């Protein structure tokens, strides 16, 4: 049945039962624009428009254009419609992405009026962008004098993308990927960094940006993608009316061709900057292969299956090598199959190595592949990996990105390369074919030989640390700027001063926001969505079960109240949780257990949670959770595995425990520059109460430092034995703790699921932990030194718990300050990639933050200046309404069916009942400007703030001037 608009024609459609959706592909008859609609009984409607963007250099033209296109359009000629609409919307998602070969503009909303508003703004921004030169200067790059109106001062580069990419390229994982791509793809667009290399970004001219826009941002080069319960024809009517009727077909076809193949493997060595740390054992060695076409579904799934067989778990042959080899400390962060580009890329390798070990590692990897090619893999291991593919296909996500957006992004790769986009979602038939093919014992063996062993398009990359490289880069930038300044005429200097002034005037100008559409408080649904569970007896314990549309999966959790632990045990608890499901059980060693898990479950892991009381920040309680998920047919196996994990775990595999901690340390070290703002906020908050302190001391920067010390003490067997004994002591306390259960599954099977959990019941003999001793508060003033070219700044203030009447206005205040002051001063004027504020009622702390920030002291001053602005400026009530909408949108944001059930259960564990959350939401909608100014005065006194900054060695001197105590990781 064709339900399309007259301007569109139906190309093909398919029902995908495993996802509960119908996918329809349409073509716009005039321009050839593609529309892929995923029809679902889901009120969270998603829109995305993607353009194929194929840069031919590393100036970041596609990335800068993504930013600049959102800075005003023909219909909405305001300076910042994107961020202004965030404030005038109940969206559940708004963003824009630049990939290596596409740029996409997605949003999601559960409110139809809001959806239509956002669609109007997005379509105009993409197809009718103004591209003001001042926006290019702000978002991309510009020259400024350090004293903006003094042409005799030093020149510097500024720009949001320039600073964003300085931060992004501080990540070793990013450097690994972009360096590898440079050699894997010698002739196609993937050779270049689409985000932009900091050294190349200043080479991009405004004229080149405009030319790229005109050639790429056209409906003939676009894919429209929608998800939800709005019919395709209604979307198409909007596309046609608001944009498409103004265009003719573009003659030019933008595409990415297949890469030329090497006739022999390539061996490369490059370096990455590492300052302030010992260089020994910091080299990365990776091997990568270019495989087949991503649009060939059978080829792509076969590559995924082969990757799973080789790398799924610690018992997989290649992963076993990478985890246990003495040539490095752990597997590379860049490992597995990348299917986001025109051709598939397979990568494996190690970190924590030395350059001279590369030959030996390469030989070891090839030996594993030869063994697989000659002897194959046992059928049960191959079938277990195929089981994982099926489970990934069936699971309904939506706890990070909206579920609809996840499906859209899965299909986008096929659409970008004019392949079978629907096929990437509808993989059941191909899975069945693979299930038949793996009956042949030689199937995987032949694929290992064909795709890897005999594939000559292989690159070996050694990426070694260089403690002088960052200084050389910095000096090169200074020399270049000095050379530019020396060559400037007086007129050119005056132009730089004038541009800085014009940009500052533009940034400080208050645009007429009324030309943008909006929703208001009157559009907020009266009730917070609720998910109801049912409490039943399960032997001597309680089971809370939820009926949810889980598409053939079951989720279950064993939940224990945390008992009394020593301080040492508290520090070790995260690592106990990690090790619990990664070591042997009973007579099975960890390799056998890993294979058992892969064949039965989609995930099994332990973790802890804790919250303060709703009315007392000094009362902290917590739980240990063993969480698992599986296909419904495997629930008995899941329960058996969970029971064995609790009753038969063994902590005597010392080498395995050390290996796991080394891997954890490597991941956490690499995560600092990507998560620096959150780590800085945790450090700044740590002095206020026990909950905030424990967050910093386990998952934060202090926890990372403690983990380093722990790992350093494991070189001796005595240290490992002591750690093993400590894990066992923790486990015995958890075994004796009171337990209850959570179960999420489909209604018709929920009773059977409940009975299957009986083996997990037990008699507990101890009660939960006693309340902790009073916490001694202190101010924090710290500067944490990491391997970063940019700064992450935070200030924190003690406030109140969730049940306090001031918690609601404090939550609204965060958006009010961000919208009205911080976004302009920190991002637009300061050049940081992001900045804002937030209130965490669980720990009772209000926090300011900046992300990938070129400034330090000035940003801390801007945090304080925002409070002066709050108190002294004349504000409008509509600014309060915008901040209210932001908080409510966050509260109402839906998760997956299983995720909503789990959130409801765990909130209830800590007294965050639906009634309490509904009351808090109502208080948010009633916040006034007077409330905001009152709580600002009451709680946010800059003389009482705590400060923490994550930065690089280059900022030590600045930190000292600000009286920040330097802390080393």
Per-residue pLDDT of 829-840, as tens digits, reads 998 988 999 999
Distance CA 949, CA 784 (A): 6
In this structure, the number of other CB atoms found within 10 A of the CB of residue 371 comes to 14
Pairing state of beta strands 283-293 and 266-273? unpaired
- Look at residue 274 in the predicted model and tell me its pLDDT: 87
Residue 546 predicted with pLDDT over 90: yes
Q: What is the pLDDT of residues 376-402, one digit of tens each?
A: 999 999 999 999 988 887 787 766 788
- Look at residue 764 in the predicted model and tell me its pLDDT: 60
- Look at residue 728 in the predicted model and tell me its pLDDT: 97
Alpha carbon separation from 258 to 255, 306, 418, 695 (Å, rounded) = 10, 22, 13, 48
- Look at residue 765 in the predicted model and tell me its pLDDT: 57
- Look at residue 95 in the predicted model and tell me its pLDDT: 93
- Look at residue 774 in the predicted model and tell me its pLDDT: 77
- Tokens, residue 354: 């030395």
Residue 794 predicted with pLDDT over 70: yes
Shortest CA distance to 787 belongs to which of 955, 963, 962, 960? 955
Confidence of residue 672 (pLDDT cuts 50, 70, 90): very high
- Look at residue 726 in the predicted model and tell me its pLDDT: 96
Q: What is the pLDDT of residues 458-507, one digit of tens each?
A: 999 999 999 898 889 889 999 999 999 999 999 999 999 999 999 999 88
- Look at residue 276 in the predicted model and tell me its pLDDT: 72
Distance CA 913, CA 785 (A): 41
Say which residue the tokens 């007392």 belong to: 616
Q: Are 843 and 695 in contact (CB under 8 A)?
A: yes
Per the DSSP assignment, residues forming a β-bridge with 38 are: 23, 227
Q: Are 791 and 859 in contact (CB under 8 A)?
A: yes
The percentage of residues in the chain with a pLDDT greater than 90, rounded to a whole number, is 78
Confidence of residue 759 (pLDDT cuts 50, 70, 90): confident
The percentage of residues in the chain with a pLDDT greater than 70, rounded to a whole number, is 98
Q: What is the mean pLDDT of residues 547-568?
A: 91
119 Cα distance to chain centroid: 25
Question: If phi over 0 gives left and psi between -120 and 50 gives alpha, with beta otherwise, what is residue 20?
Answer: left
Q: Are 949 and 967 in contact (CB under 8 A)?
A: no
DSSP code of 258? P
Q: What is the mean pLDDT of residues 922-926?
A: 95
- Look at residue 362 in the predicted model and tell me its pLDDT: 97
Say which residue the tokens 């919250």 belong to: 611
Residue 753 predicted with pLDDT over 80: no
Mean pLDDT (the chain, rounded): 92
Shortest CA distance to 667 belongs to which of 333, 355, 402? 333
Residue 317 predicted with pLDDT over 60: yes
Per the DSSP assignment, residues forming a β-bridge with 839 are: 846
351 vs 747, which has greater pLDDT? 351
Residue 895 predicted with pLDDT over 90: no
- Look at residue 385 in the predicted model and tell me its pLDDT: 93
- Look at residue 552 in the predicted model and tell me its pLDDT: 84
- Look at residue 773 in the predicted model and tell me its pLDDT: 67
Beta strands in 66-113, from DSSP E residues, in sequence order: 93-94, 97-98, 102-109
Shortest CA distance to 500 belongs to which of 854, 63, 153? 153
Confidence of residue 912 (pLDDT cuts 50, 70, 90): very high
Per the DSSP assignment, residues forming a β-bridge with 348 are: 287
719 Cα distance to chain centroid: 35
> How deeply is 523 buried, as exposed, middle or buried, from its count of CB atoms within 10 A (0-12, 13-18, 19+)?
middle
Pairing state of beta strands 792-798 and 616-631? unpaired
Please say whether the dihedral angle defined by the alpha carbons of residues 897, 899, 901 and 907, taken in this order, is positive or negative. Answer: negative
- Look at residue 277 in the predicted model and tell me its pLDDT: 77
Distance CA 791, CA 163 (A): 10
Q: What is the mean pLDDT of residues 10-38?
A: 93
Distance CA 726, CA 706 (A): 16
Q: Are 888 and 524 in contact (CB under 8 A)?
A: yes
Confidence of residue 239 (pLDDT cuts 50, 70, 90): very high
Query: What SS3 state is found at 796?
Result: strand
- Look at residue 676 in the predicted model and tell me its pLDDT: 94
539 vs 103, which has greater pLDDT? 103
Q: What is the mean pLDDT of residues 670-695?
A: 94
Shortest CA distance to 844 belongs to which of 676, 630, 667, 686? 686
Length, in residues, of the chain: 969
- Look at residue 769 in the predicted model and tell me its pLDDT: 58
Q: What is the pLDDT of residues 711-730, one digit of tens each?
A: 988 877 788 999 999 999 99
Q: Are 163 and 853 in contact (CB under 8 A)?
A: yes
Q: What is the mean pLDDT of residues 918-931?
A: 95
289 vs 275, which has greater pLDDT? 289
Residue 884 predicted with pLDDT over 60: yes
Distance CA 228, CA 37 (A): 8
Confidence of residue 741 (pLDDT cuts 50, 70, 90): very high
Q: What is the mean pLDDT of residues 298-305?
A: 94
Residue 684 predicted with pLDDT over 60: yes
Domains of the chain: 8-173+182-251+480-505 (3.30.830.10), 266-466 (3.30.830.10), 534-760 (3.30.830.10), 781-968 (3.30.830.10)
Query: What SS3 state is found at 437?
Result: helix
- Look at residue 2 in the predicted model and tell me its pLDDT: 63
Distance CA 321, CA 463 (A): 20
Distance CA 829, CA 837 (A): 17
238 vs 769, which has greater pLDDT? 238
Distance CA 174, CA 267 (A): 19
504 vs 168, which has greater pLDDT? 504
Confidence of residue 878 (pLDDT cuts 50, 70, 90): very high
Q: Are 528 and 918 in contact (CB under 8 A)?
A: yes
pTM metric for this prediction:
0.91
In this structure, the number of other CB atoms found within 10 A of the CB of residue 907 comes to 15
Alpha carbon separation from 693 to 620, 683, 689 (Å, rounded) = 11, 8, 6
- Tokens, residue 503: 């940009």
Distance CA 448, CA 361 (A): 18
Q: Are 809 and 780 in contact (CB under 8 A)?
A: no
Distance CA 832, CA 85 (A): 20
Q: What is the mean pLDDT of residues 761-767?
A: 65
């Amino acid at each position: 049945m064709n339900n399309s608009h007259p301007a569109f024609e139906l190309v093909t459609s398919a029902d995908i039962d495993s996802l509960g959706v119908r996918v329809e592909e349409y073509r716009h008859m005039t321009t050839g624009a593609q529309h892929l609609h995923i029809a679902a009984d889901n009120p969270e409607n998603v829109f995305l428009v993607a353009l194929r963007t194929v840069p031919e250099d590393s100036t970041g033209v596609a990335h800068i254009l993504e930013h600049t296109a959102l800075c005003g359009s023909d219909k909405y000629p305001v300076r910042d419609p994107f961020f202004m609409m965030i404030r005038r919307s109940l969206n559940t998602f708004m963003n824009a992405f630049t990939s290596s070969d596409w740029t996409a503009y997605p949003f999601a909303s559960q409110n139809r009026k809001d959806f239509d508003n956002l669609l109007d703004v997005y379509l105009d921004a993409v197809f009718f962008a103004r591209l003001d030169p001042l926006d290019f200067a702000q978002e991309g790059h510009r020259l400024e004098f350090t004293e903006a109106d003094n042409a005799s001062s030093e020149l510097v580069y500024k720009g949001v993308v320039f600073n964003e990419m300085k931060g992004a390229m501080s990540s070793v994982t990013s450097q690994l990927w972009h360096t590898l791509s440079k050699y894997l793809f010698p002739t196609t667009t993937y050779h270049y960094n689409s985000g932009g290399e900091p050294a190349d970004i200043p080479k991009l001219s405004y004229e080149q940006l405009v030319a790229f826009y005109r050639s790429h941002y056209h409906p003939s080069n676009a894919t429209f993608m929608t998800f939800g319960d709005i019919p395709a024809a209604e979307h198409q009517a909007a596309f046609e009316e608001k944009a498409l009727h103004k265009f003719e077909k573009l003659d030019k076809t933008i595409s990415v061709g297949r890469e030329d193949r090497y006739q022999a493997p390539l061996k490369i060595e490059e370096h990455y900057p590492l300052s302030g740390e010992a260089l020994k054992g910091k080299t990365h060695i990776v091997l990568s292969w270019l495989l087949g076409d991503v649009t060939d579904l059978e080829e792509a799934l076969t590559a995924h299956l082969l990757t799973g067989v080789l790398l799924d778990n610690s018992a997989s042959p290649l992963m076993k090598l990478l985890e246990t080899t003495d040539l490095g400390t752990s597997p590379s962060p860049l490992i597995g199959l990348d299917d986001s580009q025109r051709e598939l890329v397979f990568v494996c390798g190690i970190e924590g190595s030395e350059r001279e070990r590369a030959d030996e590692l390469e030989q070891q990897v090839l030996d594993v592949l030869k063994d697989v090619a000659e002897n194959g893999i046992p059928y049960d291991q191959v079938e277990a990996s195929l089981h994982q593919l099926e489970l990934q296909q069936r699971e309904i996500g939506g706890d990070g990105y909206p579920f609809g957006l996840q499906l859209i992004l899965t299909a986008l790769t096929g659409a970008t390369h004019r392949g079978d986009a629907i096929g990437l979602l509808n993989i059941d038939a191909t899975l069945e074919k693979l299930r038949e093919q793996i009956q042949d014992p030689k199937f995987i063996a032949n694929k290992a030989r064909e795709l890897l062993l005999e594939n000559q398009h292989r690159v070996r990359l050694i990426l070694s640390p260089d403690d002088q490289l960052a200084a050389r880069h910095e000096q090169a930038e200074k020399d270049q700027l000095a050379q530019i300044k020396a060559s400037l005429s007086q007129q050119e200097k005056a132009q730089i001063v004038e541009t800085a002034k014009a940009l500052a005037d533009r940034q400080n100008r208050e645009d007429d926001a009324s030309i943008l559409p909006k929703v208001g408080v009157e559009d907020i649904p009266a009730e917070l969505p609720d998910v109801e569970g049912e409490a039943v007896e399960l032997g001597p314990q309680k089971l809370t079960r939820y009926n949810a549309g889980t598409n053939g999966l079951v989720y279950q959790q064993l939940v224990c109240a945390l008992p009394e632990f020593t301080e040492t045990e508290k520090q070790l608890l995260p690592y106990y949780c990690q090790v619990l499901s990664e070591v042997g059980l009973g007579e099975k060693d960890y390799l056998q257990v890993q294979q058992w898990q892969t064949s039965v479950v989609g995930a099994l892991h332990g973790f802890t949670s804790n919250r303060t009381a709703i009315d007392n920040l000094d009362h902290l309680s917590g739980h240990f959770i063993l969480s698992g998920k599986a296909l419904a047919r495997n629930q008995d196996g899941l329960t058996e595995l969970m029971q064995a994990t609790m009753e038969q775990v063994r902590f005597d595999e010392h080498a395995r425990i050390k290996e796991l901690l080394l891997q954890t340390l490597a991941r956490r070290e690499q995560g600092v520059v990507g998560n620096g703002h959150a780590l800085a906020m945790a450090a700044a908050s740590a002095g206020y109460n026990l909950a905030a302190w424990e967050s910093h001391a386990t998952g934060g920067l202090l926890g990372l430092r403690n983990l380093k010390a722990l790992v350093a003490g494991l070189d001796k067997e005595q240290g490992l034995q002591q750690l093993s004994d400590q894990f066992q002591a923790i486990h015995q306390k958890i075994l004796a703790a009171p337990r209850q259960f959570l179960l999420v599954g489909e209604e018709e099977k929920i009773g059977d699921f409940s009975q299957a959990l009986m083996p997990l019941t037990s008699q507990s003999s101890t009660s939960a932990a006693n309340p902790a001793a009073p916490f001694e508060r202190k101010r924090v003033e710290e500067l944490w030194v990491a391997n970063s070219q940019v700064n992450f700044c935070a200030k924190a203030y003690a406030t109140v718990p969730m049940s306090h009447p001031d918690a609601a206005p404090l939550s609204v205040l965060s958006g009010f300050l961000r919208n009205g002051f911080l976004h302009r001063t920190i991002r637009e004027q300061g050049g940081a990639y992001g900045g804002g504020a937030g209130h965490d009622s669980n720990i009772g702390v209000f926090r300011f933050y900046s992300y990938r920030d070129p400034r330090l002291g000035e940003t801390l001053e801007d945090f304080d200046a925002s409070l002066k602005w709050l108190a002294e400026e004349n504000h409008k009530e509509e600014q309060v309404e915008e901040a209210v909408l932001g908080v409510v949108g966050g509260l109402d944001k839906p998760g997956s069916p299983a995720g909503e059930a789990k959130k409801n259960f765990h909130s209830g564990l800590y007294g965050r009942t639906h009634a309490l959350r509904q009351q808090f939401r109502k208080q948010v909608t009633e916040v006034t400007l007077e409330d905001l100014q009152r709580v600002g005065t009451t709680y946010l006194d800059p003389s009482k703030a705590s400060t923490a900054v994550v930065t690089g060695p280059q900022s030590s001197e600045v930190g000292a001037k600000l009286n920040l105590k330097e802390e080393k990781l």
